[in-house]
């Protein structure tokens, strides 16, 4: 969450049982090097003490509406104006109703009226209250204010019912907050991302695969979602959790990935082929486990589907981004792949070093587009590289749109 670094975040805590989760939200924001100011409703203080949140945020908690601080500024105006983003979590039915009506009868609602910063609202309540027409109308009103309303999670509720209404985890809320602070330069764009390895079966318990963790593809998908894109991920087997806000299609083999990508390419504006697809598979997979013996086992291999080539043939006017994992001649091999596959952009990274490439948090890449523009990323996190790649995609989309208008 690089974008949260050094940001001033106002966390408004409503009076619901999920208020206990605000402690973890504060802790995570502070870990991101954000400055956190907490404001609480009177009801919220019945669920978690201001002292707890003050200790975690290292700042006094705002709870009194008619307070004047040491420099004689009205408290709710000060905290509303000295913030980069507002997160309302949990947002109870009562708090949502008062905010939608424009009321200013406590510190939280007054601050919401006084702020011009982006506002993220995370509803949390009984599922019947959530789906009452009044609550749905009030949430729609908040959307017309420009507030970003987070879909509640589903599960067991404190009231004993099961359904929608749970406050999402802190990771999801921080992602929503980061999205609210991110320029929406991919708003409405449909992005298709492949990620992870493929596994080609040798027998029911063994397969051919590679070291891809899926982190790079997921970083690109997450960054595209934060920038406003509608994202679909086709993922080989990874240990990563599905990304909030993105549709994830699980696949296992190169053939399955090829089919899934072909099925969805026509509904996409940008295709980013990050997956490390196995180049070869056993010509015949044994139906039963191959038992260990003194005899040698010889595997006869055949080529798998060239997923990227197939996408290039069906691309139309879509932007196509490919990856090249190389152990030598990085630039030369990248240029050959860029031309042979007809790509708009190639991202070439040297693999094999301990601090970059497969199964680590960092990467280093050379970006080359079809016009010959090149950029070296240096050693960066995969999240940072994801934004560099999407910056190039935004630029190429702008060039493409200008060319269409000119034609």
Measured on CA atoms in the order 302, 304, 309, 314, is the torsion positive or negative? positive
**206: CB partners within 8 A, 6+ apart:** 289, 290
- 387 and 179 Cβ atoms separated by less than 8 Å: no
CA distance 174 to 330: 36
User: Which distant-in-sequence residues (6+ apart) come within 8 Å of 67 by Cβ?
Assistant: 74, 75
Whole-angstrom CA distances from 220 to 224, 312, 359, 387 are: 6, 20, 15, 7
* 246 in catalytic set: no
Residue among 12, 32, 159, 246 flagged as catalytic: 159
Closest CA to 375 of 361, 390, 362: 390
Rounded to whole angstroms, what are the CA distances from 80 to 102, 110, 114? 15, 9, 6
Q: Give the whole-angstrom CA distance, residue 171 versus residue 173.
A: 6
Q: What is the 3-state secondary structure (H, E, C) of 97-126?
A: HHHHCCCCCCHHHHHHHHCCCCEEEEECCC
Taking the alpha carbons of 323, 328, 334, 339 in that order, is the dihedral positive or negative? negative
Burial 114-149 (b: 16+ CB within 10 A, else e): ebebbbbbbbbbbbebbeeeebeebbebbeeeebbb
Q: What 3-state class would DSSP assign to 362?
A: strand
Helices and strands (H and E) in the chain: how many: 13, 21
Catalytic center residues: 159
């Amino acid at each position: 969450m690089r974008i949260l670094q050094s940001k001033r975040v106002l966390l408004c805590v409503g009076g619901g049982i999920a208020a206990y989760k605000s402690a973890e939200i504060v802790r995570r924001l502070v870990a991101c090097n954000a400055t956190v100011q907490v404001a609480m409703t009177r009801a919220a203080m019945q669920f978690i003490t201001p002292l707890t949140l003050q200790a975690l945020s290292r700042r006094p908690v705002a709870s009194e509406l008619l307070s004047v601080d040491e420099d004689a500024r009205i408290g709710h105006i000060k905290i509303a104006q000295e913030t980069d983003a507002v997160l309302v979590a949990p947002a109870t039915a009562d708090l949502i109703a008062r905010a939608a009506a424009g009321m200013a009868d406590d510190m939280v609602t007054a601050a919401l009226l006084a702020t011009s910063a982006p506002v993220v609202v995370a509803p949390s309540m009984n599922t019947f209250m959530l789906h009452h027409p009044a609550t749905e109308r009030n949430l729609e009103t908040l959307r017309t204010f420009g507030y970003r309303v987070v879909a509640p999670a589903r599960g067991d509720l404190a009231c004993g019912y099961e359904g929608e209404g749970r406050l999402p985890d802190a990771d999801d809320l921080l992602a929503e907050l980061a999205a609210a602070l991110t320029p929406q330069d991919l708003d409405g764009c449909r992005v298709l991302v492949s990620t992870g390895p493929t596994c080609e079966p040798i027998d029911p318990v063994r397969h051919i695969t590679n070291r891809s963790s899926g982190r790079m593809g997921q970083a690109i998908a997450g960054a595209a979602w934060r920038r406003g894109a509608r994202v679909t991920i086709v993922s080989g087997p990874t240990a990563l959790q599905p990304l909030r806000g993105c549709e994830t299609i699980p696949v296992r083999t190169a053939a399955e990935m090829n089919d899934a990508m072909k099925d969805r390419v026509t509904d996409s504006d940008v295709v980013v082929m990050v997956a490390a697809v196995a180049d070869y598979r056993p010509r015949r997979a044994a139906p039963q486990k191959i038992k260990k013996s003194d005899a040698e086992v010889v595997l006869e291999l055949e080529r798998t589907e060239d997923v990227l080539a197939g996408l290039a043939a069906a691309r139309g006017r879509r932007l196509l981004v490919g990856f090249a994992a190389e152990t030598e001649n990085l630039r030369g091999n990248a240029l050959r792949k860029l031309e042979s596959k007809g790509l708009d952009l190639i991202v070439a990274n040297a693999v094999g070093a301990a601090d970059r490439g497969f199964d680590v948090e960092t990467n280093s890449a050379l970006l080359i587009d079809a016009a010959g523009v090149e950029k070296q990323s240096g050693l960066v996190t995969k999240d940072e590289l994801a934004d560099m790649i999407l910056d190039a995609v935004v630029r190429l989309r702008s060039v493409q749109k200008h060319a269409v208008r000119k034609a």
